[in-house]
């Protein structure tokens, strides 16, 4: 039997929070009164997380656990959870209870009303450092400028997605995954749900600066080709600047002003400009190769009407 709801919970060394996480999620899900499964993805934890998860699944038939052989990272863990989920709606939530499970019923309500992606949007971030807050703000602004698809700000991976949207993301084989972007890219009806992000319930963040930086760079490189346009722009600029300088020097020369070694400078500008320009052309091809390599679907059909139904031609 397929459950109505699948909850995906990535866990990396979360031994102190897992039991409470399971308790609070179960309370909320029982309250909804529909079938559900809790899919915990043990992302290669090195503490007691796998043992606790196995115990939980022994005592609670709702619990399913995917154990990774090695740490694959948060985005990969969530991807696996979504792959294993069989529910009509899938909720992605952190194990550390920073995203309050109590928001889920509200998400479900919106989903029932026909919204296919209900993403949590942070109204406040409790217990986050000044540094994290500022870098996040700056990053979202940069993303908005670099990408044509408008990505929602202050949005993490906490969200409810309809099976149909999950299927689209399942069909996107890219390795560098920026899931919030991929869900946004899929289209369909998407709505934010404001919530207050809590402090980490216990333990500490597993997102090191390095992991955060990687996620940030993945976000930009997976959804924007604009950085690749830089060489062409610079190339055109320097070539024109060099040619104009040459023209000025020519006029100066003809009117008898000494130009000295300025010729060399002008020549350098034109030469570097052409090199950058050629790099820009190569970047144009690379950007096409990259688009192809991502292997994303060309279009996403939400529904069709008027076609004969399967089996009754
Ligand atoms: N996580 C994971 N693999 C990792 C790092 C984190 O599965 O390599 C999980 C972690 O257990 C938690 C969620 O991803 O459920 C968010 O991580 P964390 O709370 O450490 O990040 P933060 O909230 O500080 O951004
Ligand atoms: Mg957290």
Closest atom of ligand 1 to 204 CA is: 20
- Whether the CB-CB separation of 142 and 190 falls below 8 Å is answered with no
Q: Is 18 in contact with 51 (CB distance < 8 Å)?
A: no
Q: Please give the Cα distance from 297 to 151 (Å, whole number).
A: 19
In angstroms, rounded to a whole number, what is the distance separating the alpha carbons of residues 114 and 120? 17
The burial of 37, by beta-carbon neighbours within 10 Å (0-12 exposed, 13-18 middle, 19 or more buried), is given as buried
State which of 117-121, 139-143, 298-302, 307-311 shows the largest mean pLDDT: 117-121
- Measured distance CA(21)–CA(104) in Å, rounded: 14
Kindly give the distance from the C-alpha atom of residue 5 to the centroid of ligand 2, in angstroms, as a whole number: 23
CATH topology of domain 5-224+297-305: Spore Coat Polysaccharide Biosynthesis Protein SpsA; Chain A (3.90.550)
Distance of CA 148 to the CA centre of its chain: 15
Q: Where are the domains of the chain?
A: 5-224+297-305, 226-294
Q: Which two tokens mark 247? A: 């023209």
For the stretch 150-174, pLDDT in tens is: 678 788 899 999 999 999 999 998 8
pTM over 0.95: no
Distance of CA 111 to the CA centre of its chain: 21
CA of 78 to the centre of ligand 2 (A): 14
Give dist(CA 207, CA 136) in Å, integer: 13
Model pLDDT for residues 65-100, shown as the tens digit of each residue: 999 999 999 999 999 999 999 999 999 999 988 889
């Amino acid at each position: 039997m397929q459950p109505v709801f699948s909850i995906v919970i990535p866990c990396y060394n979360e031994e102190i929070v897992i039991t409470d996480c399971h308790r609070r999620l179960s309370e909320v899900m029982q309250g909804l009164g529909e079938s559900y499964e809790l899919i915990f993805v043990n992302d290669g934890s090195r503490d007691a997380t796998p043992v606790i998860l196995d115990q939980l699944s022994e005592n609670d038939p709702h619990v399913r656990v995917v154990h990774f052989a090695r740490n694959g990272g948060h985005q990969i863990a969530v991807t696996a959870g979504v792959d294993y989920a069989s529910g009509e709606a899938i909720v992605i939530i952190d194990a550390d209870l920073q995203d309050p499970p109590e928001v889920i019923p509200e998400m479900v309500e919106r989903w029932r009303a026909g919204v296919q992606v209900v993403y949590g949007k942070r109204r406040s971030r409790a217990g986050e450092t000044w540094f994290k807050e500022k870098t996040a703000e700056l990053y979202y602004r940069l993303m908005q400028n670099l990408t044509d698809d408008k990505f929602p700000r202050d949005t993490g991976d906490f969200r409810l997605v309809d099976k149909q949207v999950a299927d689209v993301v399942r069909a996107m084989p890219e390795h560098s995954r920026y899931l919030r972007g991929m869900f946004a890219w899929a289209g369909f009806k998407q709505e934010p749900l404001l919530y207050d992000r809590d402090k980490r319930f216990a333990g500490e963040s597993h997102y090191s600066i390095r992991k955060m930086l990687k996620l940030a760079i993945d976000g930009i490189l997976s959804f924007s080709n604009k950085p690749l346009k830089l060489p062409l722009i610079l190339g055109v600029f320097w070539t024109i600047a060099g040619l104009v300088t040459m023209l000025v020097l020519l006029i100066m020369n003809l009117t008898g002003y000494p130009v000295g070694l300025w010729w060399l400078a002008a020549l350098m500008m034109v030469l570097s400009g052409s090199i950058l320009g050629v790099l820009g052309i190569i970047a144009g091809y690379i950007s096409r190769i990259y688009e192809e390599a991502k292997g994303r679907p060309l279009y996403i059909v939400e529904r069709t009407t008027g076609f004969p139904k399967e089996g009754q031609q």
